[in-house]
Amino acid sequence: MPVAKIHVHEGAFRDSELATIGTAVQAALEEVLLVPPEDYFRITHVLPKGQFVHTPAFVGCTYSERFVLLELTFISGRPKDKRLALLAALNRLVVEKVGLRPDDLVVLIYEMPGENISFGQGLAQRAHISA
């Protein structure tokens, strides 16, 4: 059920590269969290200058025009070591598949209880998963 929101600067990536970022994200989710291949929700935001504003550097990382902000939302309950492994796999796969600089991928993970999510019909189909 992970939801991936990919935010990039307009003109920084070709459509094929954006698709590759999405499949690399899915590959990391499958590899580390064992998410089924048919379980994906992705939104890509291509933002014009002035609507995606960020610092040029932070905590020893420097960012270019090919900066990617990736937001992942999924059901809570995975241990810290899995989340840390996911961050590493995301960076490895996106960098490898798209030719991105390792600094240019920033990832934010949001976790929420299963009872806060409905996949339709007004039901919380995964309410039993999180503690």
Going by their DSSP bridges, the two strands 3-9 and 105-112 should be labelled as: unpaired
pTM passes above 0.75? yes
Helices 80-98/15-33 angle, 10° precision: 150
Helices vs. strands in the chain: H and E counts, helices first: 2, 6
Question: What is the per-residue pLDDT across 18-44, written as a single tens digit (0 to 9) for each?
Answer: 999 999 999 999 999 999 999 999 999
Domains parsed from the chain with CATH numbers = 3-116 (3.30.429.10)
Q: How far apart are CA 25 and CA 119, in angstroms?
A: 21
Question: What is the per-residue pLDDT across 39-90, written as a single tens digit (0 to 9) for each?
Answer: 999 999 999 989 999 999 999 999 999 999 999 999 898 999 999 999 999 9
